[in-house]
Amino acid sequence: MNKPEEKQGIASLSLLDEITLFTDPVDLITYRRDSSSATPGKPDAVVRPQSTDAVANVLKQANKDRVPVYARGGANMYAGGVNPQAGGIVLDMAGLNRILDIDLERGIVLCQPGVRFGALLEALRPHGQTVGIVPSTAPSATVGGAVSSHALGTGSPQFQSMGDQVAGLEVVLANGDRVQTGSAAAPGTGHFQRYCIGPDLTGLFIGADGTLGIIVAVALWLHPLPAARQTTCYGFPDADSVEKCILEIQRRELVNNIWYGGAYEAPTIKTRISQAFPDKPLNNLPGFALAIDFRGEAHHIEEDETQIAAIAEKYSGEHFPDFNEAYFNKLRTDEVYWYSYAGFFAMSRCSILMSSLPTNKLSIFMGIIAKQREDYPEYPLGAALVMCRRGLHGGVLSFYDEATQWEGANAAMTQCTDALIKAGIVPYKSGKTSAEQVTGFSAYSGLLQRLKNELDPNGILSPGDLGLLPKKPHSAETA
């Protein structure tokens, strides 16, 4: 950022109340990037607001001075959304970390965006409650970040994705205006219904990476804590078998007591089994595993597990207790292996690409992964699939040495993204890593850009995310 008026805009922030301002280059280092392989940015300042009014004041000032603003939660996202590639301000939402209300009668918890899921779950536990979706990056992930970036993970087999669990939002627009969505749009009403009054404005800001407004409060639906839990794994000969099994589970809606379901390929199975049982032979391991975390009433779990075991057997699957003991039970109960799907994290960095696919394309997804391994053997590649109520989320993990392989790893992941889209598998988290592909969906991207131009005409909010850029000056448009 070199424009004099932008530098003056940073200086004017020091006059605002209820913020902490960081400008020392040392303080700014950790705000250059998230956990993705996207190009780091160089922020000119970090602002940590302590109130919603402070967020509004910062945006008013930044909009006046046309200074870019990137909202940041836990920075666990792997799509580069918070990377300040246009410079400007990183708006650190960690200071907005209060749980505002736990309304057991309405079944709503209202919290600020900086609340971390670990703290939220602990606060709800004494009330016998939890939330529907807990991201796989928990417990350090923030609620606001999860909503802004389409989180998934625990709860997806029952509730699909984070957005489906949002009852309403409070958002600050680029000009500092504050907007409530859902039933709370009516003064004095509060959150109790998302789909009411008119169009679903809540959905406009979910997954938008802070490009259309900054989320300052989130209302989530509450759910009772399950009475019992059990983890079970099934081994299958190949991807086609596990695909058919998951399809039948979903068609028969045997997901109401599944809080997490993951499908794991042969390299992951081999790694986990060899680490846990070094003397066990590895030549007869399954080619694929389906691992399920059941939670609910004990008798319901028993009934569902019996039916799912029969479905697995129908497709040449059988119980696989070694994988449950070696990895999955520990993953789900101790929560110590977040995102450590394949055991490669001793390497320098991991580039993660998340996609959404219909369940009947699981085998196609794995075929693309196999081709990627052939084309780029220098980057160890892992694949993981998360089960949803309908469809799957497919993760592609590329491991590389950042000092020597960063550009090549990103090129490989771009090729993988293009191949997945060609096969009818779409990006789930786009941020900056899939921004180019998003702009290729011309009608969708064009409408998104029009909304951006109306809500953020100066283009200060997360420029570059989702392929959205500042509105061109009128003279440039007509030249």
Query: What was the pLDDT predicted at 250?
Result: 98
* pLDDT score of 477 more than 60: no
Q: What residue has token string 């084309």?
A: 375
Helix (H, G, I), strand (E, B) or coil at 230: strand
Contact by Cβ (8 Å): 454, 201: no
- CATH code of the domain covering residue 382: 3.30.300.330
- Tell me: pLDDT of 1 over 70: no
Q: Is residue 162 domain-shared with residue 209, that is, in the same domain?
A: yes
Q: Percent of the chain scored above 70 by pLDDT?
A: 92
Say how many C-beta atoms besides its own lie within 10 A of residue 373's C-beta.
Answer: 14
Does a structural domain hold residue 479?
Answer: no
Residue % of the chain over a pLDDT of 90: 71
Q: Are residues 246 and 327 in the same domain?
A: yes
What residue numbers bound the domain in which 385 lies? 349-431
Q: What is the mean pLDDT of residues 351-378?
A: 94
Same structural domain, 136 and 155: yes
* 156 in a structural domain: yes
Q: Residue 77: inside a domain, yes or no?
A: yes
Q: Are residues 85 and 48 in the same domain?
A: yes
* pLDDT for the residue 347: 45
Q: Which domain-ending residue is among 309, 333, 357?
A: 333
- pLDDT greater than 90 at residue 292: yes
Distance CA(350)–CA(339), nearest Å, equals 10
- Omega within 30 of 0 (cis) for the link into 84: no
**Nearest Cα to 349, choosing from 359, 358, 357, 339?**
339
Instruction: For Cα atoms 152, 354, 362, give the angle at the middle one, nearest 5 degrees.
Output: 95
pLDDT confidence bin for 8, thresholds 50/70/90: low
In-domain check, residue 441: no
Whether 103 and 220 map to the same domain: the answer is: yes
Q: Are residues 201 and 243 in the same domain?
A: no
- Among 268, 275, 286, 273, which residue's Cα sits nearest to residue 380? 268
Find out whether 43 and 89 touch, Cβ atoms under 8 Å: yes
* Mean pLDDT for all residues in the chain: 90
Using the predicted structure, report yes or no on whether residue 479 has a pLDDT greater than 50. Answer: no
For residues 233 and 296, give the distance between their C-alpha atoms in angstroms, rounded to a whole number: 17
Query: For the residues of 113-137, what is the DSSP string, one character each?
Result: TT-BHHHHHHHHGGGTEEES-EETT
**Within a domain: 133:** yes
Please count the structural domains in the chain. Answer: 4
Same domain, residue pair 284 and 403: no
322 and 408 share one domain: no
| 193-223: pLDDT as tens digits | 999 999 999 999 999 999 999 999 999 999 9
Amino acid at 277: F
Whether residue 239 sits in one domain with residue 217: no
**CA 470 to CA 325: how far, in whole Å?**
52
Angstrom distance (rounded) from CA 81 to CA 355: 16
